[in-house]
Amino acid sequence: MDSSTLLYSLDLVSGNGLTLSSEQRAALHTSLIILKRNYKFHRVLFWGKIMGIKNDYFIAQGVGEDEMKDRKCLYSFNCMDWHLLPHATEALIAEVDVAAKGRFIGDPAYTYEHTEIRHRGEGDDAVEEEVMVKVSEERRLAVTVFTIDKEVAVVPRGAYIKSPHGTVQTNRSFEGLNPTEAAKLNNYLHFTNPKNLKKKSILEMADLNPSIDFLDPLSDDIPKGSWSLQFEHGSRVCVIRSLLWFGLTFFHVPETSQYGYVYMGDGLKNLDLPFMM
């Protein structure tokens, strides 16, 4: 959610009981403005909070010219002092998947270790060797934020446009979905590189607008039922919650440009979702 409307936005997503204290809100309101100026970001977003056993990580994102590609993630323990997170490469993601298990500790220097047996050579020359995979919690944090964004980051249809040069930017003429549109899951999109768009038939593509329909809708997600959509605050606000990543909450005020999402959870994926349907 955008730092310029942070206090207002937090109130709209607090229906599940997850929110921030008055001190944390005040600290974020000040520090995110300084963060934007120091790093020369176009916008700064409050991404959310990942709860650890000893300490909680507060996450912010700085956005550059391209809203999708030009993003940097930072974390803080006190909502005032911010530290850059490393970029989540494919190799790092693979290491974290193997080594990091269980709850976050709350110490970025904490090291997760995993020993696995790998086979070298073939036939009679095959040799088994033990390989120790080590990953710091700071790197695990970077991968977790990246994965959550990739799988459940949500935006309303029409909120972003894609230029002929491929740059993704906010749509300044976006005035919000009407109440009827806001009640349909296919009017909300994954804010990440599309997977299913290229699989659509020519007939399906004929109804799409290339400038705004360049993302995958939530209605295509498998399994069906992995999202909860409801209206709150006297039916004035549409709230969508992810059942795949508990703690991810998106909001949109119909017929306005107000929307955003925040994650407040333990950073663990709900792998039991298919059995809960």
pLDDT tens for each residue of 157-201: 989 998 888 888 888 888 989 999 999 998 999 998 888 766 665
Cα distance between residue 152 and residue 263, in whole Å: 10
Which value, to the nearest 10 degrees, does the dihedral of the CA atoms of residues 87, 89, 93, 99 take? Answer: -80
Averaged pLDDT of the chain: 87
β-pair type (56-63, 127-136) = unpaired
Cα distance between residue 2 and residue 5, in whole Å: 6
Kindly give, in sequence order, each residue whose CB lies less than 8 Å from that of residue 6, ignoring residues fewer than 6 positions away. Answer: 25, 28, 29, 32, 46
Q: What pLDDT is stored for residue 242 in this prediction? A: 92
Kindly give, in sequence order, each residue whose CB lies less than 8 Å from that of residue 47, ignoring residues fewer than 6 positions away. Answer: 59, 60, 61, 73, 145, 262, 263
Owner of token pair 């004035």: 236
Q: What pLDDT is stored for residue 200 in this prediction? A: 65
Cα distance between residue 254 and residue 235, in whole Å: 10
Is residue 72 very low, low, confident or very high in pLDDT (cuts 50, 70, 90)? very high
Q: What is the pTM of this model?
A: 0.88
Cα distance between residue 273 and residue 221, in whole Å: 13
pLDDT digits (tens, 9 = 90+) for 208-235: 766 787 888 888 888 788 899 999 888 8
Cα distance between residue 89 and residue 70, in whole Å: 15
3-state secondary structure of 96: helix
Cα distance between residue 216 and residue 238, in whole Å: 19
